[in-house]
């Protein structure tokens, strides 16, 4: 791994000012949850149009619910990885301001991160299509009926073609436009409007770094691109940050 890139990222983190991270499914592959678009990703095995749309929920309920039950089941065996832990620790140390995530696995919160904006909802909850009541996501495993009104439950995630939760999107745009450092971790930046956030941050003067195993459409506009595993990059960066913090001593 290029030591200079890690040094640069560590320096930018220590410069102070709002530091915001945008995470994608690549953040959770080291927790044994598949991403979507890499070779072994979910969309290499399943067709999102047949499974992750409102149309699928209406017209192919058996396939739709089987797909989401499989994903809720996989969550039960998943736990935060070292990358999730480092981000939570950076928040506790006052280095990281907030995480905007496209992920629906809840692993940032489970690792202890408190300021997490979920753009695409969460598989940790299910919601009733009739009364809107929320239930734990695992209720989908017992059958799709709302415990409050008997209506049909659905996963509390944004399906293709649906709008994102307005408040989450507004908060994400506010965080991106006021960030001094904006770091993308494990996203192909293929899906809008999440993939507009690095551009918003850069346009408002932030330094933008991308840590992703594969190239993204934003690489040419980023100030730093590190094509390595997130866990190793964050562990290396945290080591350098801690060294520099020690050298700086108490202020
Ligand atoms: N370290 C670094 N990069 C990784 C790692 C890792 N350990 N694991 C995977 N990656 C990279 C992959 O190479 C890929 O480029 O993470 C990226 C994940 O991209 P996607 O699978 O497209 O996931 P994401 O960008 O989050 O997708 C956005 O699309 O299907 C919708 O709603 C879904 O939220 C999702 C959205």
Q: What are the tens digits of pLDDT across the range 32-51? A: 999 999 999 999 999 998 89
pLDDT of residue 251: 52
Ligand 1 pocket, residue 191 CB under 6 Å: yes
Q: Whose CA is nearest to atom 30 of ligand 1?
A: 36
**How far away, in angstroms, is 14 Cα from ligand 1 center?**
27
- The number of the ligand 1 atom at minimal distance from the alpha carbon of 228 is 2
pLDDT score of 50: 87
Distance from residue 16's CA to the centre of ligand 1 (Å): 28
Distance, CA of 175 to CA of 190 (rounded, Å)? 20
What pLDDT score was predicted for residue 85? 98
Whole-number average pLDDT of the chain: 95
Q: Of 84, 108, 120, 223, which residue is the catalytic one?
A: 120
Does residue 34 line the site of ligand 1, with CB under 6 A?
no
Backbone phi and psi for residue 122, each to the nearest 5 degrees, phi listed first: -150, 140
Cis omega (within 30 of 0) on the bond before 83?
Answer: no
208, 212, 210: which is closest to 12 by C-alpha? 208
Pocket of ligand 1, candidates 23, 33, 36: which has the most ligand atoms within 8 Å of its Cβ, to mutate? 36
Domains of the chain: 1-33+80-120+164-251 (3.40.50.1220), 34-77+124-157 (3.30.1600.10)
pLDDT at 31: 98
The tokens for 152 are 């049909």
Per-residue pLDDT tens digits for 165-179:
999 999 999 999 999
- Alpha-carbon dihedral 193, 198, 202, 203, rounded to 10 degrees: 0
Please answer whether residues 236 and 83 qualify as being in contact, where contact means their C-beta atoms are separated by less than 8 angstroms: no
Q: Which of 5, 26, 192, 219 to mutate to test the pocket of ligand 1 (most atoms within 8 A of CB)?
A: 26
Rounded distance between C-alpha atoms, residue 230 and residue 210, angstroms:
10
Clarify whether 84 is annotated catalytic: no
pLDDT value, residue 249: 67
Q: Quote the crossing angle between the two packed helices 82-92 and 230-248, to the nearest 10°.
A: 30
Residue with tokens 């993939």: 195
The residue ranges of the chain whose pLDDT is under 70 are 1, 249-251
Instruction: Write down the pLDDT at residue 52.
Output: 93
- How far, in Å, is the centroid of ligand 1 from the Cα of 188? 5
């Amino acid at each position: 791994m290029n030591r200079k890139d890690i040094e640069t990222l560590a320096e930018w983190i220590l410069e102070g000012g709002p530091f915001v991270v945008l995470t994608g499914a690549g953040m959770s592959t080291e927790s044994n949850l598949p991403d979507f678009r890499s070779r072994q990703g979910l969309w290499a095995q399943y067709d999102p149009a047949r499974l992750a749309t409102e149309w699928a929920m209406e017209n192919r309920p058996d396939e739709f619910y089987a797909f989401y039950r499989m994903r809720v089941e996989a969550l039960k065996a998943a736990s935060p990885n070292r990358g999730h832990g480092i981000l939570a620790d950076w928040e506790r140390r006052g280095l990281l301001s907030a995480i905007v995530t496209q992920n629906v696995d809840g692993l940032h919160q489970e690792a202890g991160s408190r300021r997490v904006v979920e753009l695409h909802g969460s598989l940790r909850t299910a919601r009733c299509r009739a009364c809107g009541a929320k239930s734990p996501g695992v209720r989908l495993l017992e059958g799709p009926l709302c415990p409050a009104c008997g209506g049909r439950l659905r996963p509390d995630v944004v399906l293709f073609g649906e709008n994102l939760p307005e408040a989450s999107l507004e908060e994400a745009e506010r965080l991106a436009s006021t960030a001094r450092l904006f770091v993308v971790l494990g996203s192909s930046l293929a899906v809008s409007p999440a993939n507009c956030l690095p551009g918003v941050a850069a346009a408002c003067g932030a330094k933008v770094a991308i840590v992703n195993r594969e190239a993204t459409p934003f690489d040419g506009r980023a100030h730093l691109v590190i094509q390595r595993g997130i866990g190793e990059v964050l562990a290396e960066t945290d080591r350098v940050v801690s060294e520099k913090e020690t050298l700086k001593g108490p202020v």
